[in-house]
Structure 1
Amino acid sequence: MSATEAVIPVSLDRSSPVPLYFQLAEQLMAAITDGSAQPGDLVENEVAMSKRLGLSRPTVRYAIRYLVDQGLLVRKRGLGTFITSRRVHRRVSKGSLYEDLLTQGRSPSTKLLGQSTGPNVKAATALELDPDTELIALNRLRYADGETLTIMHNWLPARFGPITDAELEERSLYSILGDHGVGPIVVHQSIAARLPTADESELLEISRSLPIIAVSRTVFQPGGAPVEYAEHIYRSDNYEIELVLEEN
């Protein structure tokens, strides 16, 4: 099914000191935020928009790039520029992202980027193992409604293998660990913001000027032994984290 093309009415004041690209960007932004243009809509291409509005292509391109950097639009190679989907709203919890997406009525899917075994000093330290311990390393890309959401790097003790590629693409990792009698009882998590690397921006299909949310977490099973270390990289334009603080 092809996306609906959004042809957004724009009125430019050429006598205004406000740059034309910014006038265009503001009016496109208003249409997106007030719901006139819907998430998933295909934005009119630069050539058509420049002809319709009597603007140069660089002016239109600059306005589009500005909105991409703001996280309101996303470029998809070979397809065009689209209005971004609604954000994934998630409370900080010990639950599974896969299950949280299903609960929100979203459609999660996973692409396996790689699976290997070998030592990793940082992960082994978090798992309270010797630095040269062989670990299972999983690298996946998670989508929500077909749009990239997060890059997931996970390390597990070797006793949890083997895990098939099909399992990693069709199930949540916590569901797989549950088959081994493991459930996340305590999770230690840290959250930071930074700019993406070149590889991260390419995988997430975002500009390198758009910050990402970097989450690292260690999961502990009953008895206190760590069973998983993870580093997840989220797009900041469609993911937000909620903290609930309660007084004891």
Structure 2
Amino acid sequence: MYQQLEAQIRQMIGDGVLAAGATLPAERVLADALGISRTTVKRCYGALRDQALLSAHGRLGFMVEGRTKPLNPGMDRLKGFTEEMRELGKVPSSDILERVAAPDRAIASVFGAPSNTPFLKLVRVRRGDGVPLSREIAWYDLSAAPALAGADLSGSLYAVLAREGVALTHCEQTIEAAFPTQEECTLFGFETPVPCLLIKRRSYAASGRMIEYVEGLFRGDSYAYRLTLRT
């Protein structure tokens, strides 16, 4: 029954009967109105949330997000999240969840640096137009860019590095499928885990020195990376 209800609401959204921004009633209210169980409505709303068609707004009920096209950023050059969002016509923003400056022996081995090398660990939620698109954990070599420890990182960190004379010029990057943790599901608004893209990147300055190591989980319902290949 929940699949039937889901299909009907999805059709109404697709036909424009329920426009983006329209509010659907809370689970209990709709269940009572239709004479069905609240569990049925909950499963229906959960499925539509996983498809990014609805978002929860507490006592106000659920809001129609509409079916949006996935973001198609190119991977033709090294660029930060801020620049990428601006190229896509989105307003970038970040929430810093953790910021720690200290040595880290395990990360030092990733950088091939001495164990007492200081690093800046930065955990951020990256947003486009206010929508959480990724959760990143990144480390930066403070011996190469000590000013990062006290810098304003609310904007583009790559721009800060460039001002400090250690602009990033190239990187090694891998992309793999991964499921979000429960914390990440809550962050992205997933009722159940949805496959995401885990991007791991090692970024270097022109000198060949590794400056950044980052692991970013990007929501799979919003991202479809584009590659241009030539012979």
TM-score (norm 2): 0.85
2:130, 2:150 → 1: CA distance? 19
> Matched residue of 1:242: which SS?
coil
Letter paired with 2:169: I
> Where does residue 197 of structure 1 map in the other structure?
181
After superposition, the Cα gap between the structure-2 partners of 1:147 and 1:208, relative to the gap in structure 1 and judged at 3 Å, is: same
> What is the number of residues matched between the two proteins?
227
Contact 1:195 1:208 in 2 (8 A): no
Contact 1:120 1:135 in 2 (8 A): yes
CA-to-partner distance for each residue in 1:124-158, whole Å, 9 max, x for gaps? 23322134422111111111111211112111111
RMSD across aligned positions (CA) = 2.5
Q: How does 1:164-175 map to 2 (within 5 A)?
A: 167-169=152-154, 171-175=155-159
Letter paired with 1:214: L
Letter paired with 2:73: R
After superposition, the Cα gap between the structure-2 partners of 1:80 and 1:166, relative to the gap in structure 1 and judged at 3 Å, is: farther
2:147, 2:57 → 1: CA distance? 35
CA-to-partner distance for each residue in 1:55-102, whole Å, 9 max, x for gaps? 332211111112223343333556643344733321224112111212
- What stretches of structure 1 move > 6 A for 4+ residues in a row? none
> Where does residue 146 of structure 2 map in the other structure?
161
> Where does residue 185 of structure 1 map in the other structure?
169
Gaps of 5+ in 2: none
Q: Which moved more, 1:231-240 or 1:74-83?
A: 74-83
Q: How does 1:16-165 map to 2 (within 5 A)?
A: 20-76=1-57, 80-84=61-65, 86=68, 87-92=70-75, 93-159=77-143, 160-163=145-148
Letter paired with 1:88: L
> Matched residue of 2:230: which SS?
coil
Letter paired with 1:240: A
2:229, 2:217 → 1: CA distance? 24
Q: How does 1:4-19 map to 2 (within 5 A)?
A: none
CA-to-partner distance for each residue in 1:5-37, whole Å, 9 max, x for gaps? xxxxxxxxxxxxxxx211111122233345554
Letter paired with 1:57: R
> Matched residue of 1:91: which SS?
coil
Contact 2:22 2:63 in 1 (8 A): yes
2:36, 2:217 → 1: CA distance? 37
Gaps of 5+ in 1: 1-19
Contact 1:73 1:83 in 2 (8 A): yes
* 1:229 and 2:213 correspond: yes
Letter paired with 2:71: V
Contact 2:197 2:219 in 1 (8 A): yes
CA-to-partner distance for each residue in 1:170-223, whole Å, 9 max, x for gaps? x11111111112332211111111111122223333234212211110111113
1:51, 1:136 → 2: CA distance? 53
2:211, 2:111 → 1: CA distance? 7
TM-score (norm 1): 0.79
